Amino acid sequence: MEKKELKLYGMQWYIALGAILIGLLGIFTETFGTDMPNTLIVMFAIGIPLYEIGERIPIWNKYIGGGIVAAFLGTALMVHFKILPEMYATAIDDFTSEVNFLTMFIVVLIAGSVLSLNRKILIKSFIGYIPAILGGLGGAMLLGVLTGLIFGISPSEIILNYVLPVMGGGNGGGAVPLSQIYGDVTGREPEEYYQFAIIILTIANIFAIIFASLLNGLGAKFKGLTGDKKTIIRDKNAAFDTSEESHKAELIDVAGGLVLGLASYGFGLIMSQLVLPEIFGVKIHTLAYMIIFVVILAATGVIPGNLRAGAKRLQSFFSKYLVLIIMVGVGVDLDINELIAALSFQNMIIAIAVVLGAILGSAGIGYLVGFYPIDSAVTAGLCMANRGGSGDLAVLGAADRMDLMAYAQLSSRLGGAIVLIIGSIIFSFLL
Distances (CA, A) of 250 to 107, 207, 255, 261, 314: 20, 41, 9, 17, 11
Q: Which residues of the chain fall below pLDDT 70? A: 1-3, 172-173, 236-247, 282, 428, 430-431
Give CA–CA dist 76/395, Å, rounded: 16
Query: What's residue 411's pLDDT?
Result: 84
Query: What's residue 270's pLDDT?
Result: 97
Give CA–CA dist 320/308, Å, rounded: 18
Query: What's residue 1's pLDDT?
Result: 46
Query: What's residue 387's pLDDT?
Result: 79
User: Residue 370: which H helix or E strand, with range?
Assistant: none
Q: 37-61 burial by CB neighbour count: b if 16+ within 10 A, else e?
A: ebbbbbbbbbbbbbbbbbeeeeebb
- Entry pTM: 0.80
pLDDT tens-digit map of 336-372: 887 787 778 999 999 999 999 999 999 999 999 999 9
pLDDT tens-digit map of 205-235: 889 999 999 999 999 999 999 988 988 988 7
Query: What's residue 282's pLDDT?
Result: 66
> Is-contact 102 390, C-beta < 8 A?
yes
Give CA–CA dist 84/86, Å, rounded: 6
Query: What's residue 172's pLDDT?
Result: 61
> Is-contact 262 107, C-beta < 8 A?
yes
> Is-contact 408 173, C-beta < 8 A?
no
Query: What's residue 38's pLDDT?
Result: 97
| Angle (CA) 161 166 170, round 5° | 125
Report the 10 Å Cβ neighbour count for 197: 25
Residues contacting 363, CB < 8 A, separation 6+: 373, 374, 376, 377, 381
Hey, where are the domains in the chain? 7-98, 102-430
Give CA–CA dist 348/202, Å, rounded: 11
pLDDT tens-digit map of 288-333: 888 889 989 988 889 999 999 999 899 889 988 898 998 899 889 8
Can you list the alpha helix ranges (DSSP code H) found in 334-387?
336-342, 345-368, 373-376
Query: What's residue 237's pLDDT?
Result: 57
Phi and psi of 282, rounded to 5°? -105, 125
Query: What's residue 373's pLDDT?
Result: 96
For CA atoms 237, 243, 246, 252, give the dihedral sign: negative
Query: What's residue 3's pLDDT?
Result: 62
